[in-house]
Homo-oligomer: A and B are copies of this chain.
Amino acid sequence: MQQPSAPRKATGRPPRISREEVVGTARRIVTEEGVGKLTMRRLATEIGSTPMALYHHVRNKEELLVLLLDDYAAQALRPTALPAEPRERVVAAASAIHQALAACPWIVEVLTADDLMSTHALWFVEQIVDGLVDWGLSLERAVRGYRAIWYYTAGEIVVRVTAARRRGADDRPTYREQVFAGLDPDELPRLAQAGERWEALTAEDTYEDGLRALVDGLLAAG
């Protein structure tokens, strides 16, 4: 496996393709035709190679997607001016990450990878941790707080995107619709009451509301 920026070794068969070429071509396919069209075979022929040759530059398809995410983050997440006040800084940084990810639904398969450890997102992570510490949290609590924010953010995106994906691909009634249709108002009064509005409420973008609640709670606890 070729290391991203390792010193060249002048031994062995000279490479014909590079990791950069692989990732670059993959990015082109994804942006032009969607992640669904990105297959190892397609990528290989596009590069003028064979599928198995790719595996010397990329561990597997999942790593390729992680690299694509990193690549995307580099372009979509640039440090900008953030509020000085700690609470607002935390909210703004998290919102920036969320917004970038939400605009790019194909990363869902990768989102679950680790925390968002893309090099280019780290600046925002720093802002979040720093904001929490500035408010008075210990470093430890601040890191935990960041993780809670990340769970919330990743969860929101993953759930929302896959739900939308499912809805689009099918015309049969949702499982949810079936469930709500058969609700017993005596046993589950609140859900029955919310029944009709549930669908609408679910569609709303309430990320920031929840984020603010979470941040408020984290700060109050510290």
Contacts and interface: CB of A to CB of B under 8 A. Distances in A.
A76 to B, nearest CB: 18
Contacts of A90: none
A73 to B, nearest CB: 12
A213 B126 contact: no
Contacts of A202: 115, 147
A143 B197 CA distance: 10
A213 B179 CA distance: 31
Interface of A: 66, 108, 112-115, 117, 119, 122-123, 125-126, 129-130, 133, 139-140, 142-145, 147-148, 150-156, 158-159, 162-163, 166, 174-176, 179, 183, 187-191, 193-194, 197-198, 201-202, 204, 206, 209-210, 212-218, 220-221
Q: Is the interface of A mostly helix, strand, loop or mixed?
A: helix
Given A133-B190, A193-B139, A214 B220 contact: no
Contacts of A198: 143
Given A190-B139, A194-B139, A117 B213 contact: no
